[in-house]
Structure 1
Amino acid sequence: MLRLRNHLFSGVRAAFPPPHHHPFSTTTPATSPARFAAEEYLVATCGLTPAQAAKASKGLAHLKSPAKPDAVLSFLAGAGLAKEDIAAGIARHPQLLCCKVDKTLTPRFAQILSIGLSPAQISRIISIVPNIFVAPSMISRLQIYLSLLGTFDVLHSALKRAPYLLGQKLEVFKPNMALLLQCGLTASDLALFSKLLTSKPERVKEIVACAEKLGVAPNTGTFKGALWAVYCVGHDSIGAKMDLLKATLGCSEAELALAVRRAPQLLRMSEGKLSRTLKFLKVDVGLNLQYILLRPPILGYSMQRRLIPRHYFINILKAKGLAKENIDFYSAVCMSENNFFQKFIDAHRETIPGLADAYASACAGKIPHYIKM
């Protein structure tokens, strides 16, 4: 289409020459080069989606030809970077295609290699932080963060959650890391809390103090959940959230405090989801509130993918005399998918033809008609 349009325009120019050009002049006028079609190039050559290309092309509007992007792509591919990582990097930072190979890419790539990263690891970094080639300070921080977090995989996981980590000053990162390690988090845990690592140290201290006020002891697995819950809700909004939970659950303050200590993820649940899950457990499953509050993690499971399928399939087995009447629902819900399948589904597939397929459909949100009770 672009070529056709240029062809038509050239025909128009030939038919209507500029005023200062004599139609019989022997001097050949200079022809203007074709415009660089950035969007088409990003899709056809770089592998971006049309939507990505439309957004990224704005950063390449000044380019007149594909010469520089071609050189960049050739260098990156020759250095051993994966096509999909290059495409992801360009989508994030299209100006990567404008870098000079000799003055920028070559020395920076060598600098990253000197840290000890392999081309495959550099490829994974470029897909997340492609502007590292134009920010030498990021390379020095990359080396420091790698030494602090211990392994490349932990660092990569942290960058996936917080790509701006390499732009963070060490004066912020180090005290946050030290405090979280004191709370019992491991280096692997820190990758999950990379957003917390980049927060202001004063705020991190407030979040830790708020998690402790919930009654969750540091150096426990539950404390990690409490930290994340406080971070997501906001330490200054925890009081209001606790009041909302108490009203939704219809419990006492002491009962709620105990439930939150056992399952801090309750703080991150919306009122709507909590209400729907509570209603299902009380009305459909027949559990009383005290049973639920003593086992609060049950409220966090997906209704469609776990609670509903397991409830209905246990009931159908009971109705056919294939399961005990006193099955503890919480124990059945907490089982891994494989264990539940083996105990309740696989063991009865011959007795009830199609049971396994029906359960798979149920877990996908489709309860078969003959299973509903």
Structure 2
Amino acid sequence: MEAFLPINPDMPSDLYIHLNFETYEEYLVTTCGLTPAQAAKASKGLAHLKSPANPDAVLSFLAGAGFAKEDIAAGVARFPMLLCCKVDKTLTPRFAQILSIGLSPAQISRITSIVPNIFVAPSMIHRIQFYLSSLGTFDLLHVALKRTPYLLGQKLEVVKPNMALLLQCGLTASDVAVFAKLLTPKPELVKEIVACAEKLGVPRNTGMSKSALWAVHCLGHDSIGAKMDLLKATLGCSEAELALAVRRAPQILRISEGKLSRTLKFLKVDVGLKLQYILLRPPILGYSMQRRLVPRHYFINVLKAKGLVKENIDFYNAVCISEKKFFQKFIDPHRETIPGLADAYATACAGKIPHGIKM
């Protein structure tokens, strides 16, 4: 890189290079593909280098090994010291070791974008073998690492009992990958999370068990009682009614007080739903007001006003279906009758007021 070469023949090259090290921020952007913000942060970890020779060698090795440019950039942004690794002593043998467990260069590239320090932590390579065997596929391993990048840093003597317990609770390998954060706490804590979820009335091996486990994990098992009291007060329901709602949709425990109050007010005042109706269909409380509840309520009312749909449409059924099915049922059949209907719905889902569509 020309910026690192001395232009004064009387100045020692190593001194000039050291004085101009700040050009590494530009190097990280132009050569490694980092954003300026990422480069500004990453360059601080490279201040000890006096030359771009080793980073150049690292980039050349990774590119030659088949790593994608975007994966290299992500890896360097996460772990700038990757550029300081010795190609012959570190990268080459570790790359060969990872290849030997059955991963392809493309798969190693994807892992490096998330856990680039795998090249300086041999124990992580052994753990990859465990997760490949336990989860069954590389894709599930990749999901787990994306959601929990520090997963490979946890000792297997901690992870193994947690994984066994989660599988006993009815979670599949796919579920475990998605909720990989539950693998890393101390086993005693995961046992407490499981026990707390069961106290909520959500038994193991049921469809709602993973939702209950995640809710308890996010809130903290010692905070569930206070959250239940808050929900009961906000909803204005009995303890028995709340318990039933939580069993049906444990995810409502993760809804903030503000969002819950706004959603409840909208459903009762604007939509005209009774509290009992809502409590028997608790997932409705978790949908986005902006992206789902308000737009669908508005457009169903438009269709009702024009006599294009029945008056007794069940609101929950209209809300819980996917966007694709909502379009098929409520938008597509009326495109010709109401020009611009689809665009107006998209506008409403973006939080803007649709123009040209009136009741």
Instruction: State the TM-score, normalized to the length of structure 1.
Output: 0.91
CA contact (8 A) 2:245 2:280 kept: yes
CA distance in 2, matches of 1:59, 1:92: 11
- Structure 2 residue aligned with 1:298, among 257, 281, 284? 284
CA distance in 2, matches of 1:314, 1:33: 70
Structure 1 residues 298-317: aligned runs within 5 Å? 298-317=284-303
CA contact (8 A) 1:306 1:333 kept: yes
- Structure 2 residue aligned with 1:165, among 131, 139, 151? 151
- 1:30 CA displacement: 4.7
- 1:349 CA displacement: 1.2
Which residue number corresponds to residue 254 of structure 2?
268
- 1:372 CA displacement: 6.4
**2:166 counterpart SS class:** helix
- 1:367 CA displacement: 3.0
Which residue number corresponds to residue 86 of structure 1?
72
- Structure 2 residue aligned with 1:281, among 254, 267, 270? 267
- Structure 1 residue aligned with 2:16, among 23, 28, 33? 33
- 1:29 CA displacement: 7.1
CA distance in 1, matches of 2:172, 2:223: 27
CA distance in 1, matches of 2:263, 2:330: 23
Of all paired residues, the percent bearing the same amino acid is 84
**1:236 counterpart SS class:** helix
- 1:369 CA displacement: 4.4
- Structure 2 residue aligned with 1:178, among 143, 151, 164? 164
CA distance in 1, matches of 2:152, 2:322: 37
Task: Give CA-to-partner distance per residue, 1:59-115, whole Å, 9 cap, x none.
Answer: 110111110000000000000000100010001111110111111111110000000
CA distance in 1, matches of 2:65, 2:356: 59
Q: Which runs of 4+ in 1 moved over 6 A?
A: none
- 1:33 CA displacement: 3.1
Task: Give CA-to-partner distance per residue, 1:159-193, whole Å, 9 cap, x none.
Answer: 11111111111110000000000000011110111
Could you say if the C-alpha distance between residues 195 and 313 of structure 1 is closer, same or farther in structure 2, counting changes exceeding 3 Å?
Answer: same
**2:33 counterpart SS class:** coil
- Structure 1 residue aligned with 2:215, among 226, 229, 235? 229
- 1:363 CA displacement: 1.6
CA contact (8 A) 1:313 1:371 kept: no
CA distance in 2, matches of 1:167, 1:69: 25
Task: Give CA-to-partner distance per residue, 1:6-40, whole Å, 9 cap, x none.
Answer: 87xx6xxx9xxxxxxxxxxxxx7756333332211
Structure 1 residues 116-265: aligned runs within 5 Å? 116-265=102-251
| Partner AA of 2:84 in structure 1 | C
**1:127 counterpart SS class:** helix
| Partner AA of 2:112 in structure 1 | I
- Structure 1 residue aligned with 2:88, among 102, 116, 127? 102
CA contact (8 A) 2:287 2:293 kept: yes
- 1:288 CA displacement: 0.6
Which residue number corresponds to residue 74 of structure 1?
60
CA contact (8 A) 1:260 1:267 kept: yes
CA distance in 1, matches of 2:257, 2:226: 12
CA distance in 2, matches of 1:30, 1:271: 65
Which residue number corresponds to residue 342 of structure 1?
328
Task: Give CA-to-partner distance per residue, 1:230-281, whole Å, 9 cap, x none.
Answer: 0011100000000000000000010000001001011000000000000000
Which stretch shows the higher mean deviation, 97-106 or 31-40? 31-40
| Partner AA of 2:53 in structure 1 | A
Structure 1 residues 321-340: aligned runs within 5 Å? 321-340=307-326
Instruction: State the TM-score, normalized to the length of structure 2.
Output: 0.95
- Structure 2 residue aligned with 1:43, among 24, 29, 44? 29
CA contact (8 A) 1:312 1:372 kept: no
| Partner AA of 1:252 in structure 2 | S
Which residue number corresponds to residue 97 of structure 2?
111
Give ranges in structure 1 of 5+ residues lacking alignment. 15-27
**2:222 counterpart SS class:** coil
**2:208 counterpart SS class:** helix
